[in-house]
Amino acid sequence: MYEKIVQIALLFDFYGQLLTEKQIEIIDLYYSNDLSLSEISEQLGISRQGVYDTLKRAEKTLFEYEDKLGLVNRFLQQKDSLSHIKVLLDKLLETEENDVDRIKNKIADIKIYIEKLI
């Protein structure tokens, strides 16, 4: 369940503003405020089933946006590449000054990750 919460949170960060106001409100109450369907139902004055249906429709819509646009996936890949670049730069800083070939190899590796980002 935790993985789904993180996944929905990321999708919501990227695509949330493309949802209806009601979907935004229900996603926020359910995932951010940790309210139950019944609590949301009481707060909004709609049926529990209505809350459930709106929540599921909003989740489905978020996943459809990601399938079509892939912004979250691209963001995660860029984050991973930047982490690799950081590790390589740290290793490069530790390299002895007279080890030119090793430095050149590390720079070439860094360039590969940068090319993936652009």
In a shared domain, residues 87 and 63: no
Please check whether residues 100 and 113 belong to one and the same domain.
yes
CATH number for 39: 1.10.10.10
Per-position pLDDT tens, the chain of length 118: 679 899 999 999 999 999 999 999 999 999 999 999 999 999 999 999 999 999 999 999 999 999 999 999 999 999 998 888 888 888 887 777 677 777 888 888 888 888 887 7
What residues make up the domain containing 80?
A: 74-117
Instruction: Give the position of tokens 């709609």.
Output: 46
Domain total for the chain? 2
Tokens representing 77 are 């890949």
Q: What DSSP string runs through the chain?
A: -HHHHHHHHHHHHHHGGGS-HHHHHHHIIIIIS---HHHHHHHHTS-HHHHHHHHHHHHHHHHHHHHHH-HHHHHHHHHHHHHHHHHHHHHHHHS-TT-HHHHHHHHHHHHHHHHHH-
